Structure 1
Amino acid sequence: MASQPNNPLHGVKLEQILMELQAHYGWEYMGYTINIRCFTHDPSIKSSLKFLRRTPWARTKVEQMYLQMLEKNN
C-alpha cells in the first residue's frame, strides 16, 4: 500500500473523526453547521456512522469540517 504523507485523512477512521468533532464542537454546533438529521435529532455516534457510510455528500462535509478543525488547532 502506498504511503500518503500529504493526506491528513489517511488512516483515520470515520468513527474517530466523529468522536473528535463531537468532543470539540458538540452535537448542537455540528447540527447547525451541517444540517443533517443524525446530528440534530437524538444524535449518536452509531446513527451518524450508519448515515454517513451510506451518504457520500454528507461524509464529505464531515471530513471537511474535521480538516478545518485540524487546521485551526495547528
Structure 2
Amino acid sequence: MPDAAAPASPSQPRNPLHGLTLEAIVRALEAAYGWPGLNERIPLRCFESDPSVSSSLKFLRKTPWAREKVESLYLFMLRDQRRQQQGAAPR
C-alpha cells in the first residue's frame, strides 16, 4: 500500500492524488476524522450505518459523485495539515 505522504511521481508532479489508492484515501480520512466526523463532512450511509473501509470502498467505486467528494475532502485535509505545520514552525 502506498504511503499517503509519498511524493508525486515525475509524470504527474502536481497531482497529490496520483499513486494513491482509494483505500489509502479512505483510511487516511478515517484516521483524521473518524467515521462520525466523516459522516458530518460528507453525509453518506456508508459512513453512518455500520461503517467500514470495505463497505465505503464498494459504494465509492460505484458512485463517482461521492468519490469526488471524498477526494476533495482528502485534498482539503492535506492543505489544512500543511497550514497547521507552517503555522507551528518557528519564524
What is the aligned residue count? 73
Give % identity.
Answer: 58
TM-score (norm 2): 0.78
> What code does the residue aligned with 1:64 have?
S
Matches within 5 A, 1:21-60: 21-60=29-68
Q: State the partner residue of 1:5.
A: 13
Q: Which runs of 4+ in 1 moved over 4 A?
A: none
Deviations 1:28-72 (A, max 9, x none): 010111111000100000000000000000000000000000001
Structure 1: gaps of 5 or more residues:
none
- RMSD over aligned Cα, in angstroms? 0.9
Structure 2: gaps of 5 or more residues:
1-9, 83-91
TM-score (norm 1): 0.96
Q: State the partner residue of 2:85.
A: none
